[in-house]
Chain A
Amino acid sequence: MTRTTSDTTAPGLFVPPTRFAVPGRIAVSNREAARWQTATLTEVRRETPHASTFRFAVPGWAGHLPGQHLMLRLTADDGYTAQRHYSIASPPEDAGHIELTLDHVEGGEVSGWFHTLAKPGDEVEVRGPLSGFFAWPGDRPALLIGAGSGVVPLMSMIRHHRMRSLTVPLRLLVSARGPEELIYAREYGAETTPVFTRRAPEGVPVGRLSASQVAPLLAAEQPPGGWEAYVCGSNTFAEHASRLLVAAGQPVDRIRIERFG
């Protein structure tokens, strides 16, 4: 067995059998994580029949890395609050602003308010950015796999890559039920392969993400040094995609997973 936690571990102490699966990528600011700030809605853009992007001005925003998320809080006039996590869609270059893309969840308390009542000028509260492990500083080749609104943090990475004209390899496999439900459809370029599970344009196969799409990326198309894999979506999708990656040979300690629940 390889000793992996630390070589300074005293003899006789427990050493986990596998390397830590997800070493943190960056340190997060505990001060920013704890501070609630006011975010003012400035723009709403429809992405698909069930998803819209909400743009906010947050003048004191400390900045984030692509992949991070925040906590958002709504408050009723009797003091009742609802708080939820949302990934940040915008790139760090968009200083003083953040964009979130929300699915309209049937009966959803927070997403329901956004999709039926929110309009520019409204104020909500946010704290963050949160989480250092799903962050991508733009340093290592990244293989991104997302489904539904799971593409949100991955889009921040693509936008960052473009704005900085980075040359580090980047690939995105994005799964949606059909073309009309593909979030950010107009923004994808050669780095992206959409996977349609229910309906697809003429000549494009229909079916869930499969080994035939993942395996070539981990063989012939693998960059020197290998990929850092980022998987995001529902738990069911995350389980499916991460198993495909492991089966195709991606090391478990280079698979980062964000599950939306």
Chain B
Amino acid sequence: MNVTRGFTGRPRVQNAGLPPGQYDAGDDWPVLSAEVTPDLTPADWSFRIDGLVAAPRTWDWAEAHALPASAYEGDIHCVTSWSKFGVRFGGVSLDAFLEAARPDASATHAVAYSHTGYTTNLPLADLTGGRAWIAWEYEGQPLPAEHGGPARLLVPHLYFWKSAKWIAGLRLLDHDEPGFWEQNGYHARGNPWEEQRYSGD
């Protein structure tokens, strides 16, 4: 341990919900994206699942909204060290989309694509079983554009860069293929509880 002279830090709040190395951002919701926020309206938005699936498919805004609504209420964790507690997102469980597209038995990973072309990779197991959503509401309001509106992927148990903003599609693969941040040194999985920030962690 490399103690910093005189550094005491903030008083420790015992918070079992805070992963190691994270702090509570409170009401703040920092924006971290490397690109210009796109002007994407619900009419321009669509979501596609293809690759290793029996029935590749694209949903438009109305078709996606016709699926059963599903909400997430809980915490989110960003790799830049902030966490946010008790946030509420509304949308549709990714399971509903995947059921319709019918993944092949050989599919093990996915690459998520945004409408800007941003990509991030995820193990398929992190996207199924009620652990991932396509989200278009935040605290009961339409998701703001700078936070990925009209709709983003939401995978709250992983660092938030995996929750691709302006989500456009998922391609299912039988291998892991690094996305944009992963090619830029970030971790392939990004589990906040294991502090998987950079590749090599």
Tell whether A258 is near chain B: CB-to-CB under 8 Å: yes
Task: Name B37's closest neighbour in chain A (CB-CB).
Answer: A239
Which residue from B2, B34, B116, B185 sits with its C-beta under 8 Å from A16?
B116
Task: Name B30's closest neighbour in chain A (CB-CB).
Answer: A261
Please list the residues of chain A having a beta carbon within 8 angstroms of any beta carbon in chain B. 4-5, 12-14, 16-22, 24, 27-31, 33-36, 38, 71, 74-77, 79-85, 109, 113, 117, 122-125, 127, 130-134, 235, 238-239, 242-243, 245-246, 252, 255-259, 261
B200 touches A34 (CB 8 A): yes
Distance from A85 Cβ to chain B, minimum over Cβ atoms (Å): 6
Contact flag A84-B81 (CB < 8 Å), given A19-B117, A21-B116: yes
Please list the residues of chain B having a beta carbon within 8 angstroms of any beta carbon in chain A. 1-10, 12, 21, 23, 28, 30-38, 48, 50-51, 56, 58, 80-82, 113-119, 146, 168-169, 171, 180, 183-185, 197-201
Distance from A70 Cβ to chain B, minimum over Cβ atoms (Å): 11
B36 touches A133 (CB 8 A): no
Which residue from A79, A132, A245 sits with its C-beta under 8 Å from B1?
A79
A/B interface sample: 8 pairs, CB < 8 A: A29-B185, A31-B200, A75-B4, A75-B7, A81-B21, A84-B81, A127-B198, A242-B36
Distance from B184 Cβ to chain A, minimum over Cβ atoms (Å): 5
State the CA gap A80–B14 with chains docked (Å). Answer: 12
Which residue, of A74, A85, A117, has the highest number of chain B Cβ atoms within 10 A? A74
Which residue from B9, B184, B199 sits with its C-beta under 8 Å from A132?
B184
B4 touches A30 (CB 8 A): no
Distance from B27 Cβ to chain A, minimum over Cβ atoms (Å): 13
Task: Name A252's closest neighbour in chain B (CB-CB).
Answer: B36
State the CA gap A131–B33 with chains docked (Å). Answer: 12
B7 touches A34 (CB 8 A): no
A82 touches B116 (CB 8 A): no
A239 touches B35 (CB 8 A): no
Contact flag A30-B9 (CB < 8 Å), given A13-B51, A14-B171, A22-B34: no
State the CA gap A130–B36 with chains docked (Å). Answer: 21
Distance from A60 Cβ to chain B, minimum over Cβ atoms (Å): 14
A18 touches B115 (CB 8 A): yes
B118 touches A20 (CB 8 A): yes
B200 touches A30 (CB 8 A): yes
A242 touches B37 (CB 8 A): yes
Distance from A183 Cβ to chain B, minimum over Cβ atoms (Å): 21
State the CA gap A252–B9 with chains docked (Å). Answer: 40
B3 touches A21 (CB 8 A): no
State the CA gap A4–B201 with chains docked (Å). Answer: 33
B2 touches A34 (CB 8 A): no
